Structure formats: structure tokens, C-alpha cells
Amino acid sequence: MSKSVTAIIVGAGHRSLVYARYAVSNPDRLKIVGVADPDGERRLMAQKLFNLPEDMLFESAEALAKKGKLADAVINGTMDQQHVATAVPLLEAGYDMLLEKPFAISEAELRALIGTARRCGRKVMICHVLRYAPFYAEIKKRLPRLGKIQGIETTEHVSHHHMLVSYVRGKWRGTATAGHHSMLLAKCCHDIDLIMWMKSGVAPVRVSSFGGMQQFRPENAPAGAGTRCLVDCPEAIERDCPFSARKQYLEHPDRWSFYVWRDLETIEHPTLAQKEALLKTSDYGLCAYKTGAEIVDNQTVIVQFADGSIASHNMLTGTPVAQRTIHITGERGEIFGRVDDSRFTVRVLDPHSTDEYREEVVDLNGPGDTSGVKGGHAGGDERLVADFVSVLLGEEPSVSCTSIEDSIAGHMTVFRADQAMESGQVVEIPRV
């Protein structure tokens, strides 16, 4: 291994480029030397960004794998249903890998990828970026103060605009676009992973879950609504609908632009008229009630661990403001906070004090690298890539290190939670 890590991008989409840009600010640590993507425009974008030679542009992961090992690692940001199919040949070719979550969309895929990684002895890290957010990393460091963890409660409020752009109209709305229809897998595998991480390797053993799609169903559409907001929906209906494509995307053209205007990215400064024309044909112009979305918009998961402790996660959508909260209780105290505030409270029992507890408020909103709001995913994106590079260079990994082995329990819990929701039964969670 050289003093810096060389990596090839596989799937040059938004998330891959977010991670790969670490090489721009840290050229002494990471160098991007190639790209594999079936989309020629995406390959050209990566080529220009990282000054790549023509012979390091590949049309697929398979084409790259056939060339043997040309770099230390791969940054795999393909779509969910492509993760295992692209990862297996590259691991067999000798690459270590930073792999976007979820790393598999079924138990069968999980077992296949885990088996390959173990057989090939490759380092695979999963992009559970919230582990790297200072908010959660600092909570993790303080857990020993609580003694044995007895209960964990997490919530995620998915804002209406995120729900619409990613899950109702977007790439993760169902099997046809993402290879699965699990909102829990697409959105909340971060949260379930955080729960597993906070439990420090204590195995989850059973799970129950309840949920469903309540809002964006065809029968809930306004009477007389069309199938496309800007094509066949009567003006009186479209004007009063807060979820219309006009209000969501034309009135907020810079919000989620990397998704909504993806087909205009070769135009340097697309006009509003060009954007409006695109919405008349793209999925983002569909009536929110008639997209055929297969996901749920509310779900609750309850997990029991081998030591008897309990954790729950609530996913609620349609809120005006996105937020995540966490509350952990132990034998000797509690920790609770909201990640969006970058502040949490630690209370430890102290029968000798007036209030019978000691309290510490941890505020991460200060200047510099300690800020909890610096960068994507509450500061986690860049720290994730930095940790991946450190691991490959043989340096000490951070407390947040997301090896694929550490990610198994979270994925298995998600798969079995969805089974529990669909069957109405408590489901066992096996070890892999």
C-alpha cells in the first residue's frame, strides 16, 4: 500500500461523487484514478472532475473487474439493487471497497456478499454515515456512564419534500426503480444501524413491526385530479395542492436539484422553462397520489436483544421539518437529544446531589471541526471517507468504523422487521 489510497468510482451518481470529492481536498490521502458507469455523461463528468485518462473509463463494474486490480479500492455508489452484483466481481478482483447502504436488498444477497468478502479477505466498509456525525459519535463515547443499556428509542421525521422527491416520486419508490419496496431499508437502515452500534455487539434476537401507506394512495387524490401535475390536472386542483410538482420543484428549483434535474445536468444553466418542460415527462411530474409507490409512510419497529434490553424506532413522514431524535436509558442514567440541534444531554444518577442526578449538556455547535452541522449527514460524510482511507493505510480506525461485519445485524433486523410488519407476527432474527 502506498502513502495515499487510489480508488475507482463505480456508479458516478450523487453519493459516489460526494465521497470521491474527499480526494479534491485531501490529495495526499486519496486519489481517484478511474470511473465505471454505463452513462457516458456521468463518465465524462467524473473524468473532468478528477482528470482521468481515457483508458481508466469503464462502462461497467464487470468490464473493470476483467482488467484485474488497477487501484487499491472502489467507491461503489450504484443503485441498491446493483450493489451485490457489482461488488462481488470487484472483491474477487482484489479491491477493497467503500459500499453505499443498504449493502444488500435481501437476506440471500446479504449472505452472498458476506461470503464473498470473507472468502476474499477484503476490507468492506458500509456508508452508514450517521455513525460519523459528531452528535452520535460523542453519544457513543459517553455510553459507559450509563451502565448496561436497557432501552433505546429513536425517531425519524421525514420531511414532506424529502418523502416526495425520493420515495413517492423518486428512485426508491418501489421494486421497479430500487429493486425493493422497503422504506425501512431505503431510509431507516441508518437508524437501525445506530441502534445496533449503541448496543455494542449484543445480538438482536426478535422483532415486531407495524406500518403502512396512509397518505399517497390513489383513492386519496382530490376528485378530478389528473395523473401529471403540469399536463392533465385541472388548474383549480393543481393550484391548491401543496404536493404539486410546480410547488415542490419549480418554486424551489435548487432543493434536491441533483435528483429532480438530473436529465438537465449537461446544460450549464437550464432555464425555468426547460425545467417545466422536463416535469411534463419525468417521474417528478407525476401526481403524488398516483405514482404507484410501494413504500410505507409510517412504521414502528420494536427489537429485543439477547440481554433482554429493548429498542424501538419510529419513522414518521410528511412533517414540515426533518429531524432525528434519540433517547437511551441505562442502569445509571440517560442520554437524549435531537441531532438537528447538535446538542444532547447526559444525566447520571447521583443520590447525593439536590436533584439526585448530575447533568452534562454537550453542545457541538462551536467553531471548527467539532461542529455537528459541518458537511452532509450532520458532518458524517467526509469523516466516513477519512476513516475508510485510514483503515486502508493501516492506521487506527475511528470509534465509528463501519465494517461490513458490523453492519450485518442492522440489515438482518430490517429484513425481519419488514417480514414482521407484513405477517403481523413477532419474527426471530438469526445470526449470520
CA distances from 37 to 32, 43, 44 (A): 14, 6, 10
Give CA angle at 80 (113, 83), nearest 5°: 35
Reply yes or no on whether the pLDDT at 204 is more than 60: yes
pLDDT tens for each residue of 112-144: 999 999 999 999 999 999 999 999 999 999 999
pLDDT band at 322 (very low <50, low <70, confident <90, very high): very high
pLDDT tens for each residue of 288-317: 999 999 999 999 999 999 999 999 999 999
pLDDT band at 180 (very low <50, low <70, confident <90, very high): confident
Domain boundaries, the chain: 5-100, 130-213+295-428, 218-285
Please name the residues in contact with 266: beta carbons below 8 A apart, sequence gap of 6 or more. Answer: 41
DSSP summary character for residue 80 = G
Reply yes or no on whether the pLDDT at 334 is more than 90: yes
pLDDT at 377: 53
pLDDT at 378: 59
pLDDT at 179: 83
pLDDT tens for each residue of 37-67: 999 999 999 999 999 999 999 999 999 999 9
Reply yes or no on whether the pLDDT at 318 is more than 60: yes
Reply yes or no on whether the pLDDT at 369 is more than 60: no
pLDDT at 266: 87
pLDDT tens for each residue of 153-178: 999 999 999 999 999 999 999 888 88
pLDDT at 176: 82
Bridge-partner residues for 337, per DSSP? Answer: 326, 344
pLDDT tens for each residue of 17-28: 999 999 999 999
Of the options 3.90.1260.10, 3.40.50.720, 3.10.129.10, 2.60.40.3710, the CATH number for the domain spanning 5-100: 3.40.50.720
pLDDT band at 376 (very low <50, low <70, confident <90, very high): low
- Mean pLDDT across 350-364: 91
- Mean pLDDT across 370-376: 44
Reply yes or no on whether the pLDDT at 418 is more than 80: yes
Helix (H/G/I), strand (E/B), else coil: 56: helix
Angle between helices 83-92 and 107-120 (to 10 degrees): 10
Reply yes or no on whether the pLDDT at 1 is more than 50: no
pLDDT at 263: 93
**To which CATH superfamily is domain 130-213+295-428 assigned?**
Dihydrodipicolinate Reductase; domain 2 (3.30.360.10)
Please name the residues in contact with 55: beta carbons below 8 A apart, sequence gap of 6 or more. Answer: none
Reply yes or no on whether the pLDDT at 373 is more than 70: no
Give CA angle at 94 (89, 99), nearest 5°: 65
Give me the DSSP letters along 296-320: -SEEEEEEEETTS-EEEEEEEEEES
pLDDT tens for each residue of 67-84: 999 999 999 999 999 999
Cell (9 digits) for 235: 388548474
Reply yes or no on whether the pLDDT at 253 is more than 90: yes
CB atoms under 10 Å from CB of 374, counted, come to: 19
Please name the residues in contact with 389: beta carbons below 8 A apart, sequence gap of 6 or more. Answer: 5, 22, 26, 29, 30
Reply yes or no on whether the pLDDT at 276 is more than 80: yes
pLDDT at 366: 65
Reply yes or no on whether the pLDDT at 2 is more than 70: no
- Mean pLDDT across 235-258: 96
pLDDT at 371: 36
- Least confident stretch, 101-105, 113-117, 263-267: 263-267
Cα 414 from Cα 105, distance rounded (Å): 10
Average pLDDT over the chain reads 94
119 burial class (0-12, 13-18, 19+ CB within 10 angstroms)? exposed
Angle between helices 404-423 and 189-198 (to 10 degrees): 120
Strand order in the sheet with 323-330: 357-363, 343-349, 333-338, 323-330, 149-159, 310-319, 298-305, 204-212, 427-428
pLDDT at 368: 43
- Mean pLDDT across 333-342: 96
